[in-house]
Structure 1
């Protein structure tokens, strides 16, 4: 597959539709190496990764359940069980943490763009290895107690949780915005 074919064929697959096998330890290292090789003005590396293996996914699921229950005392047992199983939807979960250097001369906005590029490279590398992925941000991406559980520094934020695994069926094409409506040529009229 050429690089363009790879890029044109990448699709997100819902985490709930993923199955084992997921990337093994060497695959994860290769995926993270690709994520690490993005444009990075100032050579800051304003990102870091947290990999959740099988036991960690179960443990963190309990953490999510506990946080959700404390913040939503009216939540049903079924909803709490759902929260507990969020990280069990795919064989591998990797949190991408934006860790900008606010004192650096490179604007923080550019550093966040580099983090987004790391997320994209992570997904492309996953696809190149024959796996599927989904970049998710749900309530737990924006929760201070989750940040504390992950030991995030005050300036850090969760860019997303990358769910990785194998597809139960070939991903289908989704409707996308019309590219021609998003292209102009300078000078515009």
Structure 2
């Protein structure tokens, strides 16, 4: 029963740490594998596993930042210096970035929409699994998730989509909560179900 209370408290207070506040250290290989294994335990109609992971850590994050900058400069040669630095640092803001890649595709029995939702569930599980290991995380997409040139250098295959980039690391920043919707604004009770 005590674990249930802790989980309830966690879910009530769950929030993301801003990427700018994430720093070293990141998870060890063993911790990362635990995070990834926990992330994959989501509803998955048909047992299709319609998602996969790409892990970016170490020097490849800096290399990708240079590639992102090249693409950004192709589209906007007058990109200001701070914006250029933001592109270079896009994947170095956290010690580890994991792409959750949706491989959803038409299927005879399983609607593609359900496969996409499963990938979204993986992203949320990854945030919670990282927190359970003592780390902070942030689920991002940004323009690189929608640009064919960026997707190619990221290792995303034709027909796949990025459900999210999960930035994982540590922080000493006290993350303030943000306004949340009131239940009265988002809940409708059907029939006589109102409490």
Distance in structure 1 (CA, Å) of the matches to 2:133 and 2:155: 30
| Counterpart check, 1:49 vs 2:28 | no
Aligned length: 189
Cα distance in 2 between the residues matched to 1:126 and 1:33 = 11
**Residue equivalent to 1:172:** 176
5+ residue gaps, structure 2, are none
Alignment of 1:20 with 2:24, yes or no, is: yes
Question: For the aligned residues, what is the CA RMSD?
Answer: 1.6
SS at match of 1:164: strand
Partner of 1:91: 95
Return the match for 1:40 from 38, 44, 57: 44
Structure 1 length-normalised TM: 0.93
Distance 1:104 1:58, change over 3 A: farther
Instruction: Show structure 1 runs of 5+ residues with no match.
Output: none
Give CA deviations for 1:114-155 in whole Å, capped at 9, x if unaligned: 000000000011111111111111111111101111232221
Moved over 4 A (4+): none
Q: 1:152 maps to which residue? A: 156
Greater displacement, 163-172 / 86-95:
163-172
* Alignment partner of 2:64 out of 45, 60, 63: 60
Instruction: Tell me the TM-score normalized by structure 2.
Output: 0.90
- How many Å apart are 1:61 and its aligned residue? 0.9
Partner residue, 2:165: 161
Give the Cα–Cα distance (whole angstroms) in 2 for the partners of residues 155 and 63 of structure 1. 22
Distance 2:89 2:173 in 1: 22
Indicate yes or no: 2:86 matched with 1:101. no
For residue 4 of structure 1, report the CA deviation from its aligned partner: 1.7
